[in-house]
Amino acid sequence: MKVVLFCGGLGTRLREHSATIPKPLVNIGVRPIIWHLMRWYAHYGHRDFVLALGYHGEMVRDYFLHYNECLSNDFTLSDGGRKVELHSRDLDDWRITFVDTGLHSNIGQRLLRVRQHLAGEPVFLANYSDGLSDLPLDRMIADFEARQVVASFAAVRPATSFHAVRLDDTGLVTDIGPLDEQAAAINGGFFILRQSIFDYIREGEELVEQPFARLIAQRQLAAYPYTGFWRAMDTFKDKIAFDRMESRGDCPWMVWR
C-alpha cells in the first residue's frame, strides 16, 4: 500500500527545533523521526511513500536528495577513502513522491492535494509523521479489512507524567494517580483509509472533524485499540525522551532489528 506522510505542519510546540527545521526532520540519534517512521512502514512491506510537504518542505526534499546511507549502516572504507562498501542499505527499494501541499493547509486539505498520487489505490495508509510506535501494522490492516469500514486509526494511550486528581463535593482529594491509567484513548495518528474517504472531505475541512463526523454517522469509522508503545514528538521534552531511549538502545519502534 502507498503511505501518505503529512510533513507540512509548523510544529509550534517544538519551537526549539521547528523554528529552523520542520518537525519530521528532528533527529532521534543520527536519523530524523520521519526516517524512523518510514523504516517502520518498510518493515511491513509498505515502501511507496507520498510526502505531503509544507513548512520547510525544501529541507525534506534536500535531506533525501543528499541521503547518506553511511550514517546508519556498517561500511568499509578503502582506497584512500575513495571506495565505500556498504554492508547493508536503507532505502534502495523505497519510492518517495514529494508534493507541495501548501504552507498553511490542514491535514484534510493536504490529503486532497495528494489525491492524484493515490489513483488506483483502493486502500492506503497515512500518518501524522510526529509519533512512533511498535504497533503491529499487519494486524491493524487485517482488523480493518475484516470490518469493511472506510477509515480506521490506532487508538492509543499517551505517555504522560501528569496526574489525574479526583475530588469530592467538599474539595477534598479522593484519588490521585497517573493520568495514562485513567484517561481515555486518543487518536495516535496512524490511519488506514479507503479511496472513498475523498467522498467525505470538502474543501477547507480538517480530516478528523467534519469528514470523520460523517463517517461516524454512517458507522464507517473504526479504531484499533493499542496499549503497547506509542509516543509523539510534540515538545522539546518529548525530543529529549526519544534521545535518551535511543542512547540506551531502548527503541521499541525499531521492529526491523
| pLDDT grade for 141, boundaries at 50, 70 and 90 | very high
Fold of 2-158+185-248: Spore Coat Polysaccharide Biosynthesis Protein SpsA; Chain A (3.90.550)
Q: Categorize the per-residue pLDDT at 87 as very low, low, confident or very high, splitting at 50, 70 and 90.
A: confident
In this prediction the pTM is 0.88
pLDDT in tens, 210-224: 999 999 999 999 999
> Would you place residue 187 in the very low, low, confident or very high pLDDT band (cuts 50, 70, 90)?
very high
98 forms beta bridges with 51
Domain ranges of the chain: 2-158+185-248
Q: What is the pLDDT of residue 54?
A: 93
Alpha-carbon span 88 to 108, nearest angstrom? 37
